[in-house]
Structure 1
Amino acid sequence: MITTAPGRSAGGTTKAAGVDGPRLFNRLCATCLTLFALIWLVPFFWALATSLRSDGSITQHPTSPFAGGWSFHAYSYAWDHYPIGWWYLNSLVISLLAVVFTVGFCSMAGFALAFLRFRGRGVIIALVTAGLMLPTEALVLPQFIEYRSLHLLGTYWALVLPSIAAPVSVFVFHAFFRGIPTPLIEAARIDGASWWRVYASVCMPISRPAAATVAILTFINSWNAFLWPLLVLNQTKSQTIPVGLASLVNNSNIQYAEVMASSVLGFLPLIAVFLVFQRQITQGIATTGIR
């Protein structure tokens, strides 16, 4: 009895430590996530507070977000004096077109690489992989020469077409389609379904998480694009939100409140998209295995 008591005590201690271990890990994760959330929310709060102040109070007390009182004058001034409505419309049309074409073409490419066996398949996969390594800035000059020769500069298509060739989106669909059970595809083929019918009627209806992930990421990347729209779009009303906001900054006379108000109006749609579709983003990342 005396020799077994310490063993029981040690076992009970080990069991208690094993139970407390996951709780401590969860608390540590929750603490880290809270700290990161606070760090990310500070710039948003600062931009919002600055947009509600006057330029005089911002110049006199730049580090005090509550000095001088708050008002919505900067928002009304920015909306009345700048073509923000046109910038919103341009960004929305370009982002939606990019989403539609990217989901359509990249899903077909991922389906072909996942199920079809053809000559040169390995070379295509290698080229798509190489596309992941190329920085966007390295493609600016060749793309500019190409679209200038096609007379597409200054049009929406000059911004939509480059976003369609997205290697990341191809790999998202490829990873998802590879997880579909092979007997399901074979059963559809035995029943006489063509590869197009298998893609449209079997694979795409069950690939909604992957399609939602690609659509949301494409929308965000297209909305936030700056360098390529700056080079392609030359008229003020045809500019997108990031390019239009950059044009508001004047080195001689910076209107801080108006610039911050325009910035808040620019990223509010992205926050709304993420809050509405955050479940789809989480499911898509968990299903397709993106890291």
Structure 2
Amino acid sequence: MTATSAPARAVPDATAPPAAPPGGRARRLLPFSPWHLALAPLALLFAIPLVWLLLSSVMSDAEINRFPPALWPSHLDFSGYRYVLGNAMFPRWFANSLIVSVTAVVSNLVFGALGGYAFARMRFAGSRVLLATMLATMAIPFQLTMIPTFLVMKRLGLIDSLGALIVPSLVTPFAVFLLRQFFLSLPRELEEAAWIDGCNRLRVLWSVVLPLSRPALSTVAVLTFLSTWNDLTWPLIAINHDAHYTLQLGLTTFQGQHHTKWSAVMAGNVITVLPVLLAFLGAQKQFIQSITSSGLKG
């Protein structure tokens, strides 16, 4: 009786082309990812307000107020830009917004990095309670804190000055929290090697941790600049004199009770949006990298 031979195992043909990955055929037919077919219309949908703002800024007031509204300017009218740039206070408002926003960005990077590193790497009495308390303040709406903030600024003598806009924005809980989350994702071995070389904590933070934290720092800078640059509520409360107006507050003067020069409003908003758009585009890669690597980490 002969033993039954084992079934022959199929030997793959070395000359056969490799199996195409899922979606490979669609990639061969299209010069881009199939996902772009869904993402491109969605991106255009979100871009409609920005495109409408840009087109309206080169329309005349008659075209903007016409019903039904004009979808395309009959001719390029730059009277709105001339009105805005010809306003004697507009450069001052732009400078005020730039000073407040840049100061808030720098201070949040400095204090946020110090606070975030302390919560991430140092253990001291009440650190967890202090961290939980700080995070709880993020859930408190600004409408509940603006009156106490106003009273504090008034006691400090900062009302109706740029100091009233800068001091409440020197550091935010979000900046501390985001940087702490990113610091937790960094390996401790890098810091321990610096300690062996004789570096103290500040030197480790400056020479080792911060160079590796550029994505998180870029995210904090962009979000802080965005929130400070576009803030209208707090400047409306704290500022009275037009020489201390920010750009957002100054644009409200173009809207009167009985007449609004919409071309100037649209042109002013285009000028206001450009710095924010350029700041985001410049830090887009680091922004996405930081959110994906540390924003959801516990």
- In which range does the TM-score fall when normalised by the shorter chain? 0.7 to 0.9
**Residues in 1 aligned to 2:78 and 2:296: alpha-carbon distance in whole angstroms:** 41
- Among 203, 206, 214, the alignment partner of 2:212 is 206
Kindly provide the amino acid, as one letter, of the partner of residue 112 in structure 2: C
1:209/1:287 contact within 8 Å kept: no
Kindly provide the amino acid, as one letter, of the partner of residue 114 in structure 2: M
Structure with the higher helix share, 1 or 2:
1
- The equivalent residue for 2:41 is 35
Offset of residue 133 of structure 1:
1.0
Name the SS for the 1:237 alignment partner: helix
Name the SS for the 1:132 alignment partner: helix
Offset of residue 138 of structure 1:
1.6
- Among 68, 71, 76, the alignment partner of 1:65 is 71
- The equivalent residue for 1:155 is 161
Matched ranges for 1:62-141 at <5 A: 62-81=68-87, 83-141=89-147
**Residues in 1 aligned to 2:231 and 2:93: alpha-carbon distance in whole angstroms:** 13
- The equivalent residue for 2:5 is none
Offset of residue 49 of structure 1:
1.5
Offset of residue 89 of structure 1:
0.6
- Say how many residue pairs are matched: 275
- Among 20, 24, 28, the alignment partner of 2:23 is 20
Matched ranges for 1:175-214 at <5 A: 175-214=181-220
Change (3 A) 1:23 1:175: farther
Is 1:246 equivalent to 2:252 in the alignment?
yes
Q: Which moved more, 1:163-172 or 1:278-287?
A: 278-287
Change (3 A) 1:174 1:27: same
Offset of residue 116 of structure 1:
0.8
Report sequence identity in percent.
Answer: 34
Q: Which moved more, 1:279-288 or 1:90-99?
A: 279-288
Name the SS for the 1:66 alignment partner: coil
Offset of residue 30 of structure 1:
2.3
2:58/2:73 contact within 8 Å kept: no
Larger Cα-atom Rg: 2
Scaled by the length of structure 2, the TM-score of the pair is: 0.85
Q: What's the CA shift string for 1:14-38, capped at 9, x where partnerless?
A: x87x7139969x9564234222321
Query: Which consecutive unaligned segments of at least 5 residues does structure 1 have?
Result: 1-14
Name the SS for the 1:103 alignment partner: helix
Scaled by the length of structure 1, the TM-score of the pair is: 0.87
Name the SS for the 2:22 alignment partner: helix
Query: Which consecutive unaligned segments of at least 5 residues does structure 2 have?
Result: 1-18
Kindly provide the amino acid, as one letter, of the partner of residue 50 in structure 1: S
- Among 261, 272, 275, the alignment partner of 1:255 is 261
**Residues in 2 aligned to 1:65 and 1:154: alpha-carbon distance in whole angstroms:** 41
